[in-house]
């Protein structure tokens, strides 16, 4: 699928029946919302229309209807897993990141297998079913390190799902090894990789990626290529979006459109695909962008979440971000299109380094979901896509 990062269609002209700001009332918004509630697909121009005119409640009401059509049972899923950041050493200097350390920094680290094993054992003891393994792009780590970690986890902890290595890490390994992305993924799969997380997406628009210093680590087309090739190899992946870095609404929609087109192609080919879309908001503390952009708050988060649910009609699950927005907004997200609240986050370092310190144990997660009016259901890393020993005993969704 070439040309994923090509220019998006032009925005529609200003409407003659634009709504009174903040009050809604756009006839075209109402028509678009009615069509999507009936199961029809939003066009690109209609996506722009929602971003420019739909009020929070208009978008939220339509997204809730779409979510309930896709998931009629009153369930919200969650997971117990752990983010294991195996290194914080990174050759890139993304301006939104507070986690990385340059090579040779006194605070830089690479986790040995023994330490990774200790973290996995703690996760198992807490009822965890998966590991999200990713780190900085460390130029000096040999390919064998990644293979050794995966094979170690597969052989010693088969009850833990291995969801590992984001697109920038895989893209860099392909460049370093002078091979293809598909070749890197095939080697990692042989070593024990089961699925690929959607990290490193930020905003899938190369103008934004250049401005926030993320273009070199993974241009939009390369992020998409990693996920397309993982799907072809039979590995499910997730798609993410970190927004609130000064991008326009059209650039957010371009991101959603990239995800939708990759998903369309993978499903048309009859291969694996994205299991979920996971949007969250940029956290600015300790980053080079602190105070330089208008970050996204709860209103913007919920509205963007709702539009994502409406636009991504081919992605089965959308996750609410209590981690960046807090438990209250996480609860409200279940009425704005989210059918999942993600992990209880036994450990999380990247967002925490930028100032987000929300915490939640399993009892709090269960109470949050029930208080929102839903039944909590524990899931695995890729929902129902994995029936290996790590996920075999989890409910079918």
pLDDT score for 288: 81
For the chain, give the percent of residues with pLDDT over 90.
Answer: 77
Lowest mean pLDDT across 66-70, 289-293, 362-366: 289-293
- pLDDT value for 82: 92
| Residue 24 pLDDT > 70 | no
In the predicted structure, residue 45 carries a pLDDT above the cut 60: yes
Please check the confidence at residue 356 and state whether its pLDDT lies above 70. Answer: no
* CA dihedral sign of residues 381, 385, 390, 394: positive
* Tokens matching residue 378: 């524990």
Q: Do residues 176 and 144 touch, judged by C-beta distance below 8 A?
A: no
Quick one: pLDDT at residue 224? 98
pLDDT at position 323 is 85
Average pLDDT on 155-172 reads 97
Whether 199 has a pLDDT exceeding 50, the answer reads yes
Show the tokens assigned to 102. Answer: 């340059």
Q: So what's the pLDDT on residue 15?
A: 40
Q: Is the pLDDT reported for residue 187 higher than 90?
A: yes
> Which one has a higher pLDDT value, 81 or 283?
81
Q: Is the pLDDT of residue 234 over 50?
A: yes
Q: What is the mean pLDDT of residues 228-253?
A: 97
d(CA 207, CA 194): 32
pLDDT for position 358:
59
Q: What is the pLDDT of residue 292?
A: 82
Please state the rounded mean pLDDT for residues 218-222: 97
Average pLDDT of the segment spanning 215-222: 96
Q: How far apart are CA 311 and CA 58, in angstroms?
A: 14
Instruction: Please check the confidence at residue 351 and state whether its pLDDT lies above 80.
Output: no
Given pLDDT bands bounded at 50, 70 and 90, which one contains residue 347? low
Q: What is the pLDDT of residue 317?
A: 98
Q: What is the pLDDT of residue 307?
A: 97
**Residue 21 pLDDT:** 42
Which range, of 33-37, 71-75, 76-80, averages the lowest pLDDT?
33-37
Q: Which of the residue ranges 213-217, 264-268, 328-332, 344-348 has the most confident prediction, judged by mean pLDDT? A: 264-268
The percent of residues above 70 in pLDDT, for the chain, comes to 91
Residue, of 7 and 315, whose pLDDT is higher: 315
């Amino acid at each position: 699928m070439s040309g994923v990062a090509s220019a998006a269609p032009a925005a529609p002209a200003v409407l003659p029946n634009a709504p009174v700001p903040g009050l809604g009332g756009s006839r075209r918004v109402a028509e678009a919302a009615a069509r999507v509630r009936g199961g029809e697909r939003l066009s690109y121009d209609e996506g722009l229309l929602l971003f420019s005119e739909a009020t929070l409640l208009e978008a939220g009401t339509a997204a809730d209807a779409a979510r309930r059509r896709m998931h009629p049972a009153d369930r919200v899923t969650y997971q117990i897993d752990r983010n294991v950041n195996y290194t914080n050493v990174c050759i890139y200097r993304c301006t939104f990141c507070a986690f990385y350390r340059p090579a040779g920094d006194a605070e830089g680290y690479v986790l040995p297998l023994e330490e990774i094993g200790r973290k996995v054992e703690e996760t198992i003891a807490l009822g965890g079913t998966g590991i999200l393994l990713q780190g900085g792009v460390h130029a000096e780590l040999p390919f064998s390190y990644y293979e050794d970690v995966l094979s170690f986890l597969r052989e010693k902890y088969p009850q833990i799902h291995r969801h590992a290595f984001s697109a920038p890490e895989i893209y860099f390994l392909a460049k370093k090894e002078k091979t293809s992305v598909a070749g890197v993924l095939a080697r990692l799969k042989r070593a024990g990789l089961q699925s690929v997380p959607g990290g490193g997406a930020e905003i899938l628009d190369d103008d934004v990626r250049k401005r926030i210093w993320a273009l070199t680590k993974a241009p939009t087309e390369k992020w998409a290529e990693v996920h397309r090739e993982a799907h072809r190899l039979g590995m499910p992946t997730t798609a993410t979006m970190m927004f609130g870095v000064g991008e326009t609404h059209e650039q957010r929609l371009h991101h959603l459109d990239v995800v939708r087109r990759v998903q369309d192609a993978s499903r048309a080919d009859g291969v694996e695909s994205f299991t979920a879309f996971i949007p969250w908001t940029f956290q600015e503390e300790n980053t080079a962008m602190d105070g330089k952009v208008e970050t996204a708050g709860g209103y913007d988060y919920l509205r963007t979440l709702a539009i994502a649910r409406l636009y991504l009609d081919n992605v089965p699950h959308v996750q609410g971000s209590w981690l960046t927005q807090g438990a209250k907004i996480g609860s409200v997200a279940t009425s704005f299109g989210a059918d999942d609240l993600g992990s209880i986050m036994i450990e999380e370092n990247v967002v925490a380094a930028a100032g987000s310190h929300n915490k939640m144990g399993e009892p709090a997660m269960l109470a949050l979901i029930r208080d929102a009016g839903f039944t909590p259901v524990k899931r695995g890393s890729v929902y129902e896509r994995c029936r290996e020993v790590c996920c075999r005993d989890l409910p079918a969704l």
